[in-house]
Structure 1
């Protein structure tokens, strides 16, 4: 296992930030680490990168225990904190040279990393002149410079515009082909687009740890449709793969639940046509990771 966490507990005074957290991540996995603010995500990431000690429990990265082999852990981990620490008055290439000296990394690796992270057009600029997206690229380049086996990214796409987000997402996906990636984010679409597995933490405890493929195969498809006339639910139940019909408010709007991944909107459209009905609106409302997240981390939980 690249990362192994066993019964980790972290307390600050009387407050328990992490409560007996356990999970493992295999080599080559990209795992999304989700949770509301204050759930304990950053605390766990700091423990895995040796920035914080545990109160109880054990954690290892690449077989090195974080409490005993901190230097070996640091050499095998690339870390991008939530607040990307950069020297704004340094040039991009100058900053990476500085980082290479700290890691005792060959200077020849710098140009490779600049090219891989798409920094070539900006490499001769001062970091303070860069957009947020390019600053994040510099942070990721710095984390990759010593060729770590594990990459830990804390909110790497916060504040990026849609184009920048897509670019960083593609970069992370390419990195994940050869390295283990633990990715903390609040953007559910990001997790669905690039991660193999999702771990959700709430109030210091893990409430979900599943492969995305498993979650998606178990999703229910919901089609919301508004007709121009009232329809008996018994008629809608004749549609294929229907499991439930809802008619909220008793109006002409229906939520139709299907037990299939096939897009059933065309079937609903054909139903309306065959029965002389007009469709005023038609939406697919599949159960999403975002909805699951809300259910598992709502204040009542």
Structure 2
């Protein structure tokens, strides 16, 4: 499947995954190539979050391989990790960490200029929460910081698990515009139950059951 410029691709080769003896994926093969937004569609438990986690390198494949461009997803492959950024549905961040500390940490890890997140702080109206700990934040505010940490990077693959959960209408509108803009230079894969949101960002649907059956 190819759309536009072919400067980025994500390839699954014979990927298999089981949880508690339940087969989630069995020799899955697929390639996303080029830029754009794709939404994984499937029932609860179909494996949408699992697949995003495997592409992000947070979950191992039982069998098979995952590549971004020519880099294989391996625990110690730092070049692969530079190519992908991931936003889970729920915050994995330490409660004691403050919003600005978290963003500065990501900038340090990714070797980014700290100025890079200011535009997103303004768009998501987070100025008043930079010194707030994650323990004190609402779910929606914590989600905004997670999104900023991903949107500010230059990684060509952006993985989003239910990205619109917890977002107010003003934030959703700003987020939609940002995603559409970034989809011109990134491959964005997301899991999203909200068809209205999927349509608002022109996401192309990928049905997991169709992937599984080839």
Where on the TM-score scale, by shorter chain, does this alignment land: which range? 0.7 to 0.9
How far did residue 179 of structure 1 move? 1.5
The alpha carbon displacement at 1:56 in A equals 2.0
1:180 counterpart = 2:193: no
Alpha-carbon distance, 1:152 to partner = 0.3
* TM-score when normalising by structure 1: 0.60
> What secondary structure sits across from 1:177 in the alignment?
coil
Cα distance, 1:126 vs. partner? 0.6
Structure 1 segment 34-49 matched on structure 2, within 5 A: 34-49=41-56
Partner of 1:91: 98
Match of 1:254 in 2: none
TM-score normalised by length of structure 2 = 0.81
Choose the corresponding residue for 2:116, options 106, 109, 115. 109
Is 2:207 the counterpart of 1:200? yes
- Call closer, same or farther: CA 1:42–1:197 in 2, change over 3 Å: same
Query: What is the distance in 2 between the residues matched to 1:113 and 1:164?
Result: 10
Contact 2:25 2:212 in 1 (8 A): no
Cα deviations across residues 171-204 of structure 1 (Å, max 9, x unaligned)?
Answer: 32232232210011111122222134211114xx
Deviation of residue 84 (structure 1)?
Answer: 2.3
Over residues 98-123 of structure 1, what are the superposed CA-to-partner deviations in whole Å (9 max), with x where a residue is unaligned?
222233333343435534x5345335
Does structure 2 conserve the Cα–Cα contact (< 8 Å) formed by 1:154 and 1:185?
A: yes
Cα distance in 1 for partners of 2:202, 2:70 equals 23
1:121 aligned partner: 127
What do the CA deviations read for 1:145-182 (whole angstroms, capped 9, x no partner)? 44211100011112334444334333322322322100
Aligned equivalents of 1:166, 1:131: Cα separation in 2 = 19
Number of the residue aligned with 2:147: 140
Flag the structure with larger Rg.
1
Contact 2:57 2:75 (C-alpha < 8 Å) held by counterparts: no
C-alpha displacement of 1:88: 4.0
User: Hey, what does 2:87 align to over in structure 1?
Assistant: 80
Q: Distance in 2 between matches of 1:183 and 1:41?
A: 8
Alignment of structure 1 residues 60-79 onto 2, 5 Å: 60-67=67-74, 70-79=77-86
Does the CA contact (< 8 Å) of 1:28 and 1:178 recur in 2? Answer: yes
Of the two structures, which has the highest relative contact order with CA contacts closer than 8 Å and spacing of 6 or more?
2
CA contact (8 A) 1:119 1:138 kept: no
